[in-house]
């Protein structure tokens, strides 16, 4: 991990297309600005962690759920 010290108004550049700038420091918090291409996804860490968690949960199948889904599909086919 690279650790840098920056003052308000200073920034860092990541690659050729991302710039992070310290906007303000007050009350134990730091406001930053991120300049990046629109096609780059940028998330707060806690939001990203929640997305990862929900994606992992989404791929976990319960066999009871699968049996129920299969049963419902079979019933629909018979009705048609």
- Span 54-68, pLDDT tens digits: 999 888 877 777 788
Same domain, 58 and 76: yes
Do residues 19 and 47 both lie within one domain? no
In terms of residue numbers, what domain contains 30?
1-40
The total of structural domains in the chain comes to 2
Q: Say yes or no: 51 and 35 in one domain.
A: no
Is residue 36 located within the same domain as residue 55? no
pTM, 2 dp: 0.64
**Residue 32 phi/psi, 5° resolution?**
-120, 155
DSSP letter, residue 3: -
Q: CB–CB of 44/38 below 8 Å?
A: no
CA distance 46 to 68: 34
33 and 49 in one domain?
no
Considering the domain architecture, whether residues 34 and 22 belong to the same structural domain is answered as yes
Ranges in the chain, pLDDT < 70: 76-80
Predicted pLDDT at 71: 82
Q: State residue 59's pLDDT score.
A: 84
Task: Give the burial string for 20-48 (b: 16+ CB within 10 Å, else e).
Answer: bbbeeeeeeeeeeeeeeeeeeeeeeeeee
**Residues 30, 55 within the same domain:** no
> Are 32 and 53 members of one domain?
no
């Amino acid at each position: 991990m690279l650790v840098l010290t920056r003052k308000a108004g200073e920034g860092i550049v990541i690659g050729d297309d991302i710039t992070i700038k310290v906007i303000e420091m007050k009350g134990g918090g730091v406001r930053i600005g991120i300049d990046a291409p629109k096609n780059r996804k940028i998330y707060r860490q806690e939001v990203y962690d929640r997305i990862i968690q929900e994606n992992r949960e989404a791929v976990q199948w319960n066999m009871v759920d699968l049996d129920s889904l299969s049963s419902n599909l079979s019933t629909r086919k018979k009705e048609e």
